[in-house]
Structure 1
Amino acid sequence: MPLLKVNHLTKNFGGLAAVSNVNLSLETNELIGLIGPNGAGKTTLFNLLTGVYEPSEGTVTLDVLGKEHVLNGMKPYKIADMGLSRTFQNIRLFKDLTVMDNVLIAMNSKNKEGILTSILRFPSFYKKEEEMEKKVLELLAIFGLEDKVQTLAKNLPYGEQRRLEIVRALATQPKVLFLDEPAAGMNPQETAELTELIRKIQKEFQITIVLIEHDMSLVMEVCQRIYVLEYGRIIAEGKPEDIKNDPRVIEAYLGGEL
């Protein structure tokens, strides 16, 4: 069965259908693109899949060890614990906390130490804390942030803030990582580095990545399959070459861009 399956997903705001009858199927270790014009419903779809919004209709199911779990109605933190994590269009770091603390907060969702152990500071508490800090350093090293451990998040350059947000999402040990316009605001060099970074994440972490992005060169270069949204509906799905040459997609979104 698919890792994540979306059936007839719909979200209405008053009389407006922001997402309408969307069907998606994601396999393990895929790199999927989600494209479409501004206002097409891409971020709303991410919000539905990660529990920020509850669907008006339809279901979202996640395969966990061969068993389907319906995610409808779950709180975002529960969905994150099930294995879905994300970044945001507008960076949402804890700006007055250090790089280390930003990632530790995310990793703490997997910490199973009891309240009593944490309050009384048993030896197991300090051992677990050391293990988590070691894992954080290993993660930061992959992203070239190991020398910024004690830097406040707000003092990082823009590109490094983007990378830190991805590290924080990965610290929850996701099965599916949703990246919402990670190249937004980046210059060409930063975008090229991000392209390689996305490839590296998929290779090292063996997870499914779903990417919302307006930079079509990035999408076409890294994605294995692409879904196209227009007015909240999927109008096309396929490999990059198929999407690139689809007349309806060209008319709705790509134009002469490719």
Structure 2
Amino acid sequence: MSTILKVDDLVKNFGGLTAVSDVSMTLNDDELVALIGPNGAGKTTLFNLLTGVITPSSGAISFRGPKGTVTLNGKKAYQIANLGLARTFQNIRLFKDLTVLDNVLVAMTSQYKEGLLSTLFRLPSYYKKEAKIAKEATELLAIFDLQESVDVLAKNLPYGIQRRLEIVRALAMKPQILFLDEPAAGMNPEETADLTRLIKKVQREFHITVVLIEHDMSLVMNLAERIYVLDHGAMLAQGTPTEIKQNPAVIKAYLGEEVS
């Protein structure tokens, strides 16, 4: 596998607090990686750095995109998203007063540019492109069994389905890397099992790199090919699920006991 994202000695300071300290990591094509660690370990801060929500204090982030390798440092979140990095958040950030379909359409608009005259005067090309986008959005929703909910307002969906829609909306951006920030947060066991199947489906059908922050260790050990462990903002360990379960430093700092 070849490297799609490379992080070198990343640091983020907030005043006198170092939230991320000299973190280095790599992500490869078409793999599923988990980022774990105690609360306050810097996991979401690292996600925010990688996706342009905040800027690093030092270090470098390199992404191999369709037009070659680019440095992500200094780029805005929308620029990084357009390059092929999409994410979800700990707290669901759907457009709750828009329908399921419209939530997905919003994510797809950046991929389709229409001329000013065509848009202003509603020329045939405008309607043709609108129809094409709607068709693609509907087909994507159908893959994830949301075709019956296209006209439902996002706020009226059950919690687990809202999480699913948020992932689908991120996929609508056609990313090369999908970052999932605690996707199982607040879910019951049945919803978590559905989420596990969903993430496996994303990996299988879209062939993209998936990175998730998650505290549910059974989900992590069931899904991840590799795991990075953060503790107090620093990289404590990395390895396969088996290696992480048996790592004494990880057990002491986070797991507490081996995960079956």
One-letter amino acid of the structure 1 residue matched with residue 110 of structure 2: S
Give the AA of the match of 1:122. Answer: L
Distance in 2 (CA, whole Å) between partners of 1:68 and 1:100 is 33
Amino acid at match of 1:79: I
Q: Percent identity?
A: 64
The one-character-per-residue Cα deviations of 1:70-107 (angstroms, maximum 9, x if unpaired) are: 01111111100000000000000000111111110000
- Does the CA-based 8 Å contact 2:108-2:172 persist in structure 1? yes
Alignment partner, residue 206 of structure 2: 205
**Contact 2:238–2:244 (Cα < 8 Å) also in 1:** yes
Q: Secondary structure at the match of 2:218?
A: helix
Equivalent-residue separation in structure 1 for 2:213 and 2:235 (angstroms): 14
2:87 equivalent in structure 1: 86
**Kept after mapping to 1: 8 A contact 2:246/2:258:** no
2:214, 2:238 → 1: CA distance? 16
Q: CA deviation at 1:66?
A: 6.8
Q: Does 1:125 align with 2:126?
A: yes
Structure 2 portions without partners, runs of 5+:
none
The amino acid across from 1:161 in the alignment is Q
Consecutive aligned runs of 4 or more in structure 1 exceeding 2 Å deviation: none
2:217 corresponding residue in structure 1: 216
Partner of 1:238: 239
1:168 and 2:172 are equivalent in the alignment: no
Is the counterpart of residue 191 in structure 1 residue 201 in structure 2? no
Aligned residues: 258
Aligned with 1:72: secondary structure?
A: coil
1:139-178 maps to which residues of 2 (within 5 A)? 139-178=140-179
CA distance in 2, matches of 1:175, 1:197: 17
Contact preservation (8 Å) 2:179, 2:211: yes
Instruction: Indicate the residue corresponding to 2:96 in structure 1.
Output: 95
State the TM-score, normalized to the length of structure 2. Answer: 0.97
The CA distance in 1 between the partners of 2:122 and 2:67, in whole Å, is 38
Distance (whole Å) between structure 1 residues aligned to residue 180 and residue 75 of structure 2 = 20
Corresponding letter in the other structure for 1:129: E
Is the CA contact 2:50–2:61 (under 8 Å) kept in the aligned structure 1? yes
Q: Aligned partners of 1:112, 1:61: CA distance in 2, in Å?
A: 27
Rounded to whole Å, the distance in 1 between the matches of 2:68 and 2:209 is 18
The residue matched to 1:135 in structure 2 has which SS? Answer: helix
Partner of 2:252 in structure 1?
A: 251
Measure, in 1, the Cα distance between the counterparts of 2:169 and 2:147: 14
Contact 2:245/2:258 (<8 A) preserved: no
For the 8 Å contact 2:227–2:238, the answer to whether it is kept is yes
Separation in 2 of the partners of 1:114 and 1:88? 33
Residue type at the aligned position of 1:49? L
One-letter amino acid matched to 1:68? T
Q: Any residues of structure 2 matched to 1:44-123 within 5 Å, and which?
A: 44-65=45-66, 67-123=68-124
RMSD of equivalent CA atoms: 1.0
Query: What displacement does 1:112 show?
Result: 1.8
CA distance in 2, matches of 1:116, 1:236: 55
Distance 2:54 2:117 in 1: 34
